[in-house]
């Protein structure tokens, strides 16, 4: 234990000294991004030859905490940047050199082009197609529930490139340029009053063949890598507030809320808060276990973390509603507490759906953890074009 602590202290001291020597609040963001990237702090747990410092995940989190303490941006991409993480694990050396640095510097933004109107829970049933035309692919289809599509430079796209093999085998994965003719983004109005998600219509849009990630027809495996990072991110950083000006609604604010409403001494309320705290603690331990495991076990554990985070958010919203009682029916700027609780209740469903629904995660856990038999699939070896539609 002392060796671990000593290593942590060494990393903490090193990053503090580096920040003291290089970071100035208000400095030019482009210059700062270059400094962070060159020093390997953008993705500290990656190999030095790929923009990192070879640190452990725990040490990477220490780096993130020290950056946050002084208000410095630019680190944590090895956990939060799905575009760069997917390329780091599945991309070619050329793709890593060309596409990762601009993403780590914040020069390029990304979105996820996975789900379709007819392929959500059964994502392998997707019908967006990518047809080879010389040194490029021509893409046609529709995606839905896409966050950040209006500002993205690239979309992590899964598309069908072979219709004559079983559905999982004919899918390929691309880094798709979003800013081009033939890409029509339409916002979706949500129950929370926001339009965070979008429909994306793709008509004869182009993606260079050099942006194919993984082998042709091997996109399902690349997608599992990307989904693993997404589930990890959702387990770490569930979105809970309407804006940055509202307090984080974690266990401490639950305690504060109960105190404000004179319910902190109520045994039932205290038990509910303690239960949520216990769920959060177990989820943290599960996430740490997943990071130490790797491979298939890590992906399975991330499914557990995804379910756990959904449950934590729904339970937190339920307890908040109980605490504030009738005030939870009020909304708008004149009723900030009721508005925040209502938003939390509605927004919890976002986490139940994003990154693969809770039901899909339970299937993964049932099959891979509990050893239950897989659901019958009479079309497992049938060419996609022959499937009922």
Cα–Cα nearest to 364, from 294, 306, 277: 306
The last residue of one of the domains, among 62, 80, 98, is 80
Query: Locate tokens 């495996």: which residue?
Result: 221
CATH of the domain at 140: 2.40.110.10
CB atoms within 10 A of CB 68: 12
181 and 295 fall within a common domain: no
The strand pair at 183-187 and 110-113 is best described as: unpaired
| 186 strand-pairing partners | 199
- Per the domain annotation, does 37 fall within a domain? yes
CA distance 21 to 17: 6
Check residue 65 and give its pLDDT: 95
CATH of the domain at 328: 1.20.140.10
- Per the domain annotation, does 100 fall within a domain? no
- Per the domain annotation, does 200 fall within a domain? yes
202 and 303 fall within a common domain: no
Give me the domain span that covers residue 43. 2-80
- Per the domain annotation, does 35 fall within a domain? yes
The last residue of one of the domains, among 218, 252, 273, is 218
154 and 202 fall within a common domain: yes
- Per the domain annotation, does 6 fall within a domain? yes
73 and 132 fall within a common domain: no
263 and 147 fall within a common domain: no
71 and 179 fall within a common domain: no
Distances (CA, A) of 155 to 66, 114, 146, 321: 31, 9, 9, 37
Q: pTM for the whole thing?
A: 0.80
Furthest CA-CA distance within the chain: 71
246 and 213 fall within a common domain: no
The strand pair at 129-133 and 212-213 is best described as: unpaired
**Beta carbons of 303 and 232 less than 8 angstroms apart:** no
Check residue 251 and give its pLDDT: 46
The last residue of one of the domains, among 34, 64, 80, is 80
Check residue 332 and give its pLDDT: 86
**Beta carbons of 253 and 130 less than 8 angstroms apart:** no
- Per the domain annotation, does 381 fall within a domain? no
Please report, in tens digits, the pLDDT of each residue of the chain (389 residues total): 334 455 789 999 999 999 999 999 999 999 999 999 999 999 999 999 999 999 998 899 999 999 999 999 999 999 899 999 999 999 999 999 999 999 999 999 999 999 999 888 789 999 999 999 999 999 999 999 999 999 999 999 999 999 999 999 999 999 999 999 999 999 998 777 778 889 999 999 999 999 999 999 999 999 999 988 887 777 665 433 343 334 344 445 899 999 999 999 999 999 999 999 999 888 888 877 776 666 556 667 777 878 888 899 999 999 999 999 999 998 888 999 999 998 889 888 877 887 778 888 888 889 888 899 988 888 889 999 999 87
- Per the domain annotation, does 251 fall within a domain? yes
262 and 203 fall within a common domain: no
CA distance 270 to 251: 11
Number of domains in the chain: 3
CB atoms within 10 A of CB 384: 22
192 and 284 fall within a common domain: no
- Per the domain annotation, does 55 fall within a domain? yes
């Amino acid at each position: 234990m002392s060796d671990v602590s000593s290593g942590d202290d060494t990393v903490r001291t090193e990053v503090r000294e580096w920040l003291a020597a290089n970071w100035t609040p208000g400095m030019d963001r482009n210059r700062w991004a270059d400094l962070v990237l060159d020093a390997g702090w953008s993705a500290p747990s990656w190999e030095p030859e790929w923009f990192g410092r070879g640190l452990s995940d725990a040490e990477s989190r220490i780096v993130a905490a020290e950056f946050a303490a002084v208000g410095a941006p630019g680190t944590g991409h090895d956990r939060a940047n799905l575009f760069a993480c997917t390329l780091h694990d599945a991309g070619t050396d050329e793709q890593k050199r060309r596409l990762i640095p601009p993403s780590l510097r914040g020069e390029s933004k990304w979105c996820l082009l996975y789900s379709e109107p007819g392929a959500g829970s059964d994502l392998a049933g997707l019908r967006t197609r990518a047809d080879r035309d010389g040194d490029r692919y021509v893409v046609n289809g529709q995606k839905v529930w896409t966050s950040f599509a209006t500002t993205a430079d690239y979309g992590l796209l899964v598309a069908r490139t072979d219709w004559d093999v079983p559905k999982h085998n004919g899918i390929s994965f691309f880094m798709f340029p979003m800013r081009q003719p033939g890409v029509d983004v339409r916002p979706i109005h949500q129950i929370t009053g926001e339009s965070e998600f979008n429909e994306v219509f793709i008509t004869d849009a182009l993606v260079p063949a050099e942006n194919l990630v993984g082998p042709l027809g091997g996109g399902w495996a690349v997608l599992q890598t990307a989904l693993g990072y997404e589930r990890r991110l959702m387990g770490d950083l569930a979105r809970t507030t309407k804006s940055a000006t509202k307090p984080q609604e974690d266990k401490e604010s639950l305690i504060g809320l109960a105190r404000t409403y004179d319910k902190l001494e109520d045994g039932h309320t205290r038990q509910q808060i303690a239960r949520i705290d216990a769920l959060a603690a177990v989820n943290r331990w599960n996430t740490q276990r997943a990071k130490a495991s790797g491979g298939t076990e890590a992906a399975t554990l991330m499914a557990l973390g995804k379910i756990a985070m959904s449950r934590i958010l729904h339970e937190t919203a339920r307890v908040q509603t109980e605490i504030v009682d009738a005030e939870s029916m009020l909304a708008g700027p004149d009723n900030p507490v009721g508005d925040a609780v209502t938003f939390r209740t509605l927004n919890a469903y976002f986490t139940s759906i994003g990154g693969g629904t809770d039901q899909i995660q339970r299937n993964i856990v049932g099959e891979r953890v509990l050893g239950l038999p897989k659901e019958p699939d009479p079309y497992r070896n049938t060419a996609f074009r022959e499937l009922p539609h």
